[in-house]
Chains A and B, each alone.
Chain A
Amino acid sequence: AQKITQTQPGMFVQEKEAVTLDCTYDTSDPSYGLFWYKQPSSGEMIFLIYQGSYDQQNATEGRYSLNFQKARKSANLVISASQLGDSAMYFCAMKTSYDKVIFGPGTSLSVIP
């Protein structure tokens, strides 16, 4: 069975500091894609970053980077230089071949001024 685990229900980070949000996944499919989404209090899900299982390098998108450790089945999101606007729920998600996207339970991030 495929599963996404996010063990941090809530996190706090000081403004301008970096923060790592944990995500571990489980799948027997060798081909998969991993995604991170942000959900502000407004409710809309915003795509942040993608990592493919065969990608050799860790994905980066601006202040977001993904620490992909395939052997450990982890795909942690790193946000550098946190901003107040980063306060939101963050969801890790996975898609395998011809299967639906599954989401983790999410981590609530609060950025403290």
Chain B
Amino acid sequence: KAGVTQTPRYLIKTRGQQVTLSCSPISGHRSVSWYQQTPGQGLQFLFEYFSETQRNKGNFPGRFSGRQFSNSRSEMNVSTLELGDSALYLCASSPSLGGDLYNEQFFGPGTRLTVL
């Protein structure tokens, strides 16, 4: 099976712009989660989607949004970029959701976003 893919791998934007990141989960996985990783804040949960529905959301401003398509592919969008949005954005897919405690997540390679 192919792993989780994320595009693009690297992105450079300027303040005020918007950006869209894409994630394709492992075939058959219906849950997709997004994380932001920075040296100062570590790994922070952004949101989780299952069957096109947002099931969990982290503590991020409304500039951060996402969606999931019927084929489980997911996109996240960040509008009005700020310098502090520079980070590695990781996507993870999982075959299960919610009450399953064994929720091994398979991570993609990440998209490194730099905001100038």
Contacts and interface: CB of A to CB of B under 8 A. Distances in A.
In which size bucket is the chain B interface? 20 to 34
A107 B46 CA distance: 22
Interface stretch (A15-23, A29-37, A74-82): A29-37
Interface residues of A, number: 27
Given A42-B109, A44-B108, A45-B107, A100 B45 contact: yes
Contacts of A103: 35, 42-43
Contacts of B101: 31-33, 52-53, 95-97
Interface of A: 31-33, 35, 37, 42-47, 50, 52-53, 91, 95-106
Contacts of A102: 45
Given A44-B108, A52-B101, A98-B98, 12 more contacts: A32-B101, A33-B101, A33-B103, A45-B92, A50-B102, A91-B43, A97-B99, A98-B99, A99-B56, A100-B45, A100-B56, A104-B42
Nearest to B4: A44
A35 B107 CA distance: 14
Contacts of A47: 104-106
Given A45-B92, A99-B56, A100-B58, A50 B104 contact: yes
B59 to A, nearest CB: 11
A101 B110 contact: no
